[in-house]
């Protein structure tokens, strides 16, 4: 932690893990915790030990496998049960025995939830809070309290909601985080409530859900109103519409409010960390996510590109490097000369003179035919090279190819492809099998070329997308195929458009291989 005056508290491993379709193993949680520690957050909520075996195992393994440099590990749990002493409650014991230096207790602050969900009295709920907080404090753990459904509870019974805050603070809780559990608050009304609670004297934090699309705005409003502890999840993960996106909150506090919540060096790692967490969770990164999204600093319109060429700050609110991101120029039918010149510069090409004009015309012509270069930088670079040199870059000449699909008597499906080509003065015929015709063609092309170009052994197709283009009908519709490839060191996209989906796939495959060989340093034929 930079200091204890302001807390950045991450709850990805507990609240974020409640997102639909997200299932983290203990190993996943340990990896994510290390990434979050690299960002410099102050607290990492690891889960609810005692409530489920996975979280209990996480805290057991964390003792020997996590060497946190910046964050403190936090165990999440509930106040004791009604009618039982905190010292005798097994779930409280699991928090006490977790080894975590900090415990965050969820406590009901809405009178109806106390009576209907906990099925106890308002007085007993306050006693549960007081007893559990004071017990854990006596055992040497720092205690935060999450006042669940606080804002709805404040509306229903202001006095009781404030009693919950007061009781937790008097019992020794360092922070009481006000939770917009249903995510329905708006920034102005939330700020008014937070300011009123801060006046009571306790240290206040904020925990917002995004059901109204205001989780980040509500978090910032709470800080303005006096909250000094913010909670959120990496990439906005969480139940329903998710939690406040921790990366957006950190970016705004540091770059817009001037608050030093992490170091500048840690902030510059934020984009990398956001994408690394996405890889672990297997949730596709949000391309339009503020600060860290792939499209956060991407420019498509020609008017924007012209301005960015003069001064990037005209259409960028910060320098992307501050958060470890990059400006990107998208080439499309909306592109003008400036877009193409900047994209060429990004790829390392000088497009002075008439070249940029020719490329713009070519792009518009191809996009009218169904191509798209926004996600196909490799295809665009091959197009650039062709315009600059006057010849198509080729490491091999294709004589013919074919793909067949066979359904066998046992019901199994087999795809086989044959490729005939010329490379380095040789005529090569190769066949390959696959789980579909495109996979079979990919295999056959590799078989044909790997002996001459060993680099292709590293080539891997990592994504494949098919789009039926507008204005076409039925199974004979014109088709666009986008292929994402990788050689283990980088990824690139290629595009193919044909009336036949297999032909479009072949075109994208051929360009993916050509781009791979080009950047591996092989001479063209």
pLDDT band at 143 (very low <50, low <70, confident <90, very high): very high
- CA 225 to each of CA 210, 251, 300, 453: distance values in angstroms, whole numbers, following the listed order: 19, 19, 38, 63
**Arithmetic mean of pLDDT, 124-128:** 95
pLDDT-based confidence at residue 205 (cuts at 50, 70, 90)? very high
User: Which residue stretches of 122-177 are H helix?
Assistant: 122-138, 150-156, 158-171
How far is residue 364's CA from residue 361's CA, in Å, rounded to a whole number? 5
- 71-109 residue pLDDT tens: 999 999 999 999 999 999 999 999 999 999 999 999 999
Q: What is the pLDDT of residues 419-446, one digit of tens each?
A: 999 999 999 999 999 989 999 999 999 9
How far is residue 367's CA from residue 497's CA, in Å, rounded to a whole number? 10
- pLDDT for the residue 411: 83
Would you kindly state where each structural domain of the chain is located, as residue ranges? 7-264, 298-368, 369-387+460-525, 396-452
- What does pLDDT average to over the chain? 88
Statement: residue 149 has pLDDT above 80:
yes
Query: How many other C-beta atoms can be found within 10 angstroms of the C-beta atom of residue 4?
Result: 9
Q: Is the pLDDT of residue 498 over 80?
A: yes
Nearest to 181 by CA among 223, 132, 239, 117: 239
Total Cβ atoms within 10 A of residue 20:
7
Distances, alpha carbon 290 to alpha carbons 161, 249, 299, 305, 433, in Å = 34, 10, 14, 20, 43
pTM beyond 0.75: the answer is no
Per-residue confidence (pLDDT) for residue 123, from 0 to 100: 95
Same fold, 7-264 and 396-452: no
Q: 418: which 2 tokens? A: 């044959």
pLDDT surpassing 70 at residue 203 = yes
Question: Which fold does the domain 369-387+460-525 belong to in CATH?
Answer: Double Stranded RNA Binding Domain (3.30.160)
Which residue, among 203, 209, 243, has the nearest Cα to 223 in the 3D structure? 203
Q: What integer pLDDT is reported at residue 263 of this predicted model?
A: 94
* Each residue's pLDDT tens digit, 178-192: 999 999 999 999 999
pLDDT score, position 211: 96
Q: Are 3 and 31 in contact (CB under 8 A)?
A: no
pLDDT over threshold 90, residue 150: yes
- Topology, domain 396-452: Double Stranded RNA Binding Domain (3.30.160)
Q: How does residue 331 score in pLDDT terms, banded at 50, 70 and 90?
A: low
- For residues 407 and 130, which has the higher predicted lDDT (pLDDT)? 130
The predicted pLDDT at position 287 comes to: 81
Instruction: Write down the CATH number for the domain with range 7-264.
Output: 3.20.20.70
Q: Is 422 helix (H, G, I), strand (E, B) or coil?
A: strand
Rg (CA), the chain: 29
* Per-residue three-class SS string for 369-411: CCCCCCCCHHHHHHHHHHHHHCCCCCCCEEEEEEEEEEECCCC
Distance CA 301, CA 388 (A): 24
DSSP string, 55-69: HHHHHHHHHHH---S
């Amino acid at each position: 932690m930079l200091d204890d005056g302001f807390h950045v508290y991450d709850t990805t491993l507990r609240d974020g893990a409640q997102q639909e379709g997200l299932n983290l193993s203990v190993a996943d949680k340990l990896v994510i915790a290390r990434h979050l520690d690299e960002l410099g957050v102050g607290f990492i909520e690891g889960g609810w030990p005692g409530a489920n075996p996975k979280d209990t195992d996480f805290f057991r393994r964390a003792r020997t496998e996590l060497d946190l440099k910046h964050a403190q590990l936090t165990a999440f749990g509930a106040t004791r049960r009604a009618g039982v002493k905190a010292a005798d409650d097994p779930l409280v014991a699991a928090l006490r025995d977790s080894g975590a230096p900090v415990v965050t207790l969820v406590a009901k602050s809405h009178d109806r939830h106390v009576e209907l969900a906990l099925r106890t009295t308002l007085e007993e709920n306050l006693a549960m809070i007081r007893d559990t907080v004071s017990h854990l404090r006596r055992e040497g753990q720092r205690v935060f309290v999450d006042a669940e459904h606080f804002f709805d509870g404040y509306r229903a019974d202001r006095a009781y909601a404030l009693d919950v805050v007061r009781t937790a603070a008097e019992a020794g809780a360092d922070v009481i985080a006000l939770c917009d559990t249903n995510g329905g608050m708006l920034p102005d009304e939330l700020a008014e409530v937070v300011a009123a609670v801060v006046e009571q004297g306790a240290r206040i934090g904020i925990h917002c859900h995004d059901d109204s699309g205001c989780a980040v705005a509500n978090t910032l409003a709470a800080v303005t109103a006096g909250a000094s502890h913010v909670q959120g999840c990496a990439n906005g993960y969480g139940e329903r519409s998710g939690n406040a996106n921790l990366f957006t909150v950190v970016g705004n506090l540091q770059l817009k409010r001037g608050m030093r919540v992490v170091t500048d060096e840690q902030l510059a790692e934020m984009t990398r960390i956001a994408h690394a967490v996405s890889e672990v969770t297997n949730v596709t990164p949000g391309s339009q996510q503020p600060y860290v999204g792939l499209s956060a600093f991407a420019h498509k319109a020609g008017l924007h590109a012209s301005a960015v060429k003069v001064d990037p700050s005209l259409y960028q609110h910060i320098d992307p490097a501050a958060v470890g991101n990059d400006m990107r120029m998208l080439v499309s039918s909306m592109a003008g000369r400036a877009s193409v010149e900047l994209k060429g510069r990004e790829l390392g090409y000088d497009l002075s003179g008439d070249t940029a004009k020719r490329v713009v015309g070519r792009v518009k012509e191809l996009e009218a035919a169904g191509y798209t270069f926004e996600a196909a930088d490799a295809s665009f670079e091959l197009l650039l090279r062709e315009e600059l040199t006057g010849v198509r870059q080729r490491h091999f000449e294709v004589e013919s190819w074919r793909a067949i699909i066979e359904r066998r008597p046992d019901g199994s499906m087999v795809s086989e492809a044959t490729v005939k080509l010329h490379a380095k003065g040789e005529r090569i015929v190769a066949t390959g099998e696959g789980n579909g015709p495109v996979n079979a063609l990919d295999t056959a092309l590799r078989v044909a070329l790997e002996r001459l170009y060993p680099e292709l052994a590293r080539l891997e197709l990592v994504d494949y997308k098919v789009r039926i283009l507008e204005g076409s009908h039925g199974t004979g519709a014109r088709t666009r195929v986008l292929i994402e490839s990788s050689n283990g060191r980088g990824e690139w996209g290629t595009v193919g458009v044909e009336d036949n989906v297999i032909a479009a796939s072949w075109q994208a495959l051929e360009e993916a291989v050509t781009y791979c060989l080009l950047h591996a340093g092989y001479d063209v034929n």
